[in-house]
């Protein structure tokens, strides 16, 4: 099982989701850096791995796969540990529902509408109100669906691994941080998730930089 390669960048939300699944499932892998936003650095064969030009992509013994969902399902099957996927029909459906909410409503609003605008592009005060409202609605709905200490119940599931990287970027933006504070259960969940080894092993470069002690500081 130790010849799994994941292609992608350590700053990417979807690469981090795939990595957190691999880490939680204890499936060894190596990460090959593909910086999808730096055209000159993308390997010439990458379009064969991902014809839609996104990250991540995976290769295992010559078997190639892309789409984070498919990578997650394959990882769970390889590991033989199905605890990331709830056993009952309703819990499983809820988990999938939260994953798709994060894909379709959370990613465009939390990550692109708030984090990228406010932190990467420094457009504080110029956010698209519709995106901020979509982010607030995403939090309201996920908070309402939350099944216990974790999003899908009392154990971590794929829903947590989908949402956590998006919430991490969102929480780095002042607007995101303020919005999360309106939902104490989600705030507590995010803190719980941040302590998991899978989250620590896959921290975004921005988190690693923020955690570094400035020279001269004690
Ligand atoms: N549906 C894809 C989405 C992956 C995705 O959007 N990846 C982003 C990085 S987080 C990307 O590659 N963006 C490059 C682009 O849109 O040009 C999946 O589930 O893997």
Q: What is the mean pLDDT of residues 159-168?
A: 98
- Which residues line the pocket of ligand 1, CB cutoff 6 A? 12-14, 36, 53-55, 67-69
Instruction: Determine the pLDDT at residue 124.
Output: 86
How far apart CA 201 and CA 5 sit, in angstroms, is 16
Q: How far is the CA of 52 from the centre of ligand 1 (A)?
A: 9
Confidence of residue 43 (pLDDT cuts 50, 70, 90): very high
Counting ligand 1 atoms within 8 A of each CB, the residue from 54, 103, 115 with the most, and so the one to mutate, is 54
Average pLDDT over the chain, rounded to an integer? 95
Counting ligand 1 atoms within 8 A of each CB, the residue from 19, 55, 110, 111 with the most, and so the one to mutate, is 55
Query: Does residue 150 carry a pLDDT above 50?
Result: yes
Please count the other Cβ atoms lying within 10 Å of the Cβ belonging to residue 64.
13
Instruction: Determine the pLDDT at residue 216.
Output: 47
Every domain range in the chain assigned CATH 1.20.1050.10: 89-200
Backbone angles phi, psi at 4, to 5 degrees: -100, 130
Task: For ligand 1, atom 18, name the residue with the nearest CA.
Answer: 67
Every domain range in the chain assigned CATH 3.40.30.10: 4-79
Instruction: Quickly name the fold that domain 89-200 has.
Output: Glutathione S-transferase Yfyf (Class Pi); Chain A, domain 2 (1.20.1050)
Instruction: Determine the pLDDT at residue 217.
Output: 42
pLDDT digits (tens, 9 = 90+) for 202-218: 999 999 998 775 554 44
Atom of ligand 1 nearest to the CA of 9: 9
CATH number assigned to the domain with residue range 4-79, chosen from the 4 options 3.30.9.10, 3.40.30.10, 3.90.1530.10, 3.40.50.2300: 3.40.30.10
Q: Which residue has the tokens 């504070």?
A: 181
How far apart CA 40 and CA 54 sit, in angstroms, is 15
Q: What is the mean pLDDT of residues 73-89?
A: 95
């Amino acid at each position: 099982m130790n010849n799994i390669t994941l292609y992608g960048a350590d700053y990417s939300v979807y690469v981090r989701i795939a990595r957190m699944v691999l880490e939680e499932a204890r499936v060894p892998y190596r990460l090959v850096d593909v910086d999808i936003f730096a055209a000159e650095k993308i390997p010439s064969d990458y379009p064969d791995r991902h014809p839609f030009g996104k990250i991540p992509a995976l290769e295992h013994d010559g078997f190639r796969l892309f789409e984070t969902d498919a990578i997650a399902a394959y990882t769970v099957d390889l590991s033989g540990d199905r605890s990331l996927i709830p056993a009952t029909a309703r819990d499983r459906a809820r988990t999938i529902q939260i994953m798709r909410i994060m894909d379709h409503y959370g990613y465009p609003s939390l990550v692109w509408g708030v984090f990228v605008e406010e932190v990467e592009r420094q457009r504080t005060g110029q956010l698209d109100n519709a995106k901020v409202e979509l982010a607030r609605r995403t939090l309201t709905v996920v908070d309402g669906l939350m099944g216990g200490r974790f999003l899908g119940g009392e154990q971590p599931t794929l829903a947590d691994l989908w949402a956590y990287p998006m919430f991490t970027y969102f929480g780095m933006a002042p607007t995101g941080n303020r919005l999360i504070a309106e939902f104490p259960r989600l705030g507590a969940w995010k803190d719980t998730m941040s302590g998991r080894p899978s989250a620590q092993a896959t921290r975004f470069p921005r988190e690693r930089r923020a955690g570094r002690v400035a020279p001269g500081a004690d």
